[in-house]
């Protein structure tokens, strides 16, 4: 039983994609560098990979490529522990291998010189935003980053973002750091300012992206959102990742992940994201119970 092995942590695959570094960016957000020279060579900002922890029964999890180095042959991924698979991934250590890492998938971000760009990142969304901010800066754009998090402890990539962005604004829900409130507040202020932004890119929870789109729309500021729908294959074969954009069916894995945020039906997307919540929480509970049991057994045997 492959799952059991990876849980007990004795047998991890000997082949695949080696984990080179691992660090916690916050309590439940992990950054890993993985050896994948071919993906590192081809990837562009905005693209993602698919990771599996088990080749027979593992889920195919899409994760944005957060950083890469083609000379050294690695890519970085940042994930939040939210479900069974990310929980399992967090138990992989440096020197272990992920059996499946495939990509780069999706269309790269259209990077050009827009002028003044506002990049809004919420929670884990700051991870995919980072390479885009890097790319935008490299092309000479003026970039303002609005970073949102529930509280100070959950804010990630502050140093990295500060190092590249022209302006950096922090918003927390509880006011434990930066300004208290939602990312849409400073976004609205920036849209009202003169000159207003030439472009906005928003990456984060779907609700945040929805409200960013609603905020910028009255000002006619072109806004992109990077969508994180459910996926299975990630290669355009199954249609699980479909969203409605301007009333048409589009596939996030091949047509996206970025779309004109003013045309995306976020409400429907949010509903569709909940298709398996029941199964997912059951699976996570079962894993946690199982882990607790294993730990208890291990402790008992050590006594």
Partner 1 sequence: MPRFHRDPQILNNEALEILEGLQAKAALTPKDRMAIPLQKPAVLDPLERSQWQDEVEKTYTPAQAVVESMRCLHCKNPNCVKGCPVGIDIPGFLKATAEGEFQKAVDTIKESSLLPAICGRVCPQERQCQENCMIGKAHKDVGQSVAIGKVERFLADWERSQGHSGLEVKPESGHKVAVIGSGPAGLVVAADCRREGHEVHVFEALHKLGGVLRYGIPEFRLPKSVVDGQIETLKKMGVHFHTDYIVGRTRKLQDLLDKDGFGAAFIGVGAGLPIFMGIPGEDYVGVCTANEYLTRANLMGGINPGHSDTPMYRSKKVVVLGGGNVAMDSCRMAKRLGAEEVTVLYRRSRQEMPARREEVEHAFEEGIRFCFLENACAINADENERVKSVTVQRYKLGEPDASGRRRPVPIEGDTYELECDTVLIAIGNSSNPLLTTATPGLELNAKGNVIVDQETGQTSLERVYAGGDIVLGAATVILAMGEGRRAARSINKLLAEK
* Piece of 198-206, 227-235, 263-271, 286-294 that binds ligand FES (CB under 6 A): 227-235
Q: Is 104 in the site for ligand FES (CB under 6 A)?
A: no
Choose which of 237, 288, 292, 293 interacts with partner 1 (CB under 8 A).
237
Minimum CB separation from ligand FES for residue 236, in Å?
Answer: 5
Q: Is 275 in the site for ligand FES (CB under 6 A)?
A: no
β-pairing, 242-245 with 248-251?
A: antiparallel
Residue in 198, 199, 210, 133 with CA at minimum distance from that of residue 166: 133
3-state class (DSSP) for residue 294: helix
297: exposed, middle or buried (Cβ count in 10 Å: 0-12, 13-18, 19+): exposed
Alpha-carbon gap, residue 222 to 4, rounded angstroms: 48
Q: Is 68 in the site for ligand FES (CB under 6 A)?
A: no
Query: Residue count at the site for partner 1 (CB under 8 A)?
Result: 49
Extract the tokens encoding 202: 């928003």
CA atoms within 13 A on the CB side of 56: 7
* Piece of 107-115, 219-227, 236-244, 267-275 that binds ligand FES (CB under 6 A): 236-244
Q: Is 234 in the site for ligand FES (CB under 6 A)?
A: yes
Q: Is 235 in the site for partner 1 (CB under 8 A)?
A: yes
Selection from ligand FES, partner 1, none that 166 binds (CB < 5 to 8 A by kind) is none
Choose which of 124, 231, 245, 269 interacts with ligand FES (CB under 6 A).
231
Q: Is 64 in the site for partner 1 (CB under 8 A)?
A: no
Instruction: Give the CA distances from residue 75 to residues 18, 72, 128, 173, 249, in Å, rounded to whole numbers and listed in that order.
Output: 11, 9, 13, 31, 31
Extract the tokens encoding 105: 């998938």
Residue pair 256/227 in contact (Cβ under 8 Å)? The answer is yes
Selection from ligand FES, partner 1, none that 55 binds (CB < 5 to 8 A by kind) is partner 1
Positions touching partner 1 (CB under 8 A) are: 1-3, 38-39, 42, 52-60, 84-85, 88, 99-105, 232-233, 235-240, 242, 244, 249, 251, 254, 265, 268, 271-272, 274-276, 278-280, 283
């Amino acid at each position: 039983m492959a799952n059991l092995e990876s849980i007990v942590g004795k047998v991890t695959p000997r082949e695949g994609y080696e984990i080179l570094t691992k660090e916690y960016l916050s309590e439940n957000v992990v950054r890993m560098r993985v050896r994948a020279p071919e993906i590192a060579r081809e990837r562009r900002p905005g693209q993602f990979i698919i990771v599996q922890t088990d080749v027979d029964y593992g889920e195919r999890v899409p994760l944005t490529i957060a950083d890469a180095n083609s000379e050294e042959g690695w890519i970085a991924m940042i994930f939040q522990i939210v479900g069974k698979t990310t929980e399992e991934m967090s138990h992989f250590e440096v020197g272990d291998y992920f059996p499946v890492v495939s990509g780069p998938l999706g269309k790269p971000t259209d990077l050009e010189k827009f002028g003044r760009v506002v990049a809004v990142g919420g929670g884990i969304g700051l991870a995919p935003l980072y390479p885009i901010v890097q790319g935008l800066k490299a092309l000479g754009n003026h970039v303002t980053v609005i970073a949102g998090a529930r509280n100070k402890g959950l804010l990630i990539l502050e140093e990295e973002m500060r190092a590249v962005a022209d302006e950096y604004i922090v918003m927390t829900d509880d006011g434990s750091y930066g300004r208290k409130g939602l990312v849409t507040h400073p976004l609205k202020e920036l849209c009202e300012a003169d000159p207003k932004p030439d472009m906005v890119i928003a990456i984060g929870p779907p609700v945040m992206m929805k409200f960013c789109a609603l905020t910028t729309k009255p000002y006619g500021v072109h806004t992109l959102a990077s969508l994180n729908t459910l996926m299975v294959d990630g290669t355009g074969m199954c249609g699980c990742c479909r969203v409605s954009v301007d009333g048409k069916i589009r596939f996030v894995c091949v047509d996206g992940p970025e779309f004109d945020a003013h045309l995306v039906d976020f409400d429907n997307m949010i509903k569709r994201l909940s298709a398996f919540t029941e199964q997912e929480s059951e699976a996570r509970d079962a894993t946690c119970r199982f882990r607790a049991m294993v730990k208890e057994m291990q402790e008992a045997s050590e006594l």
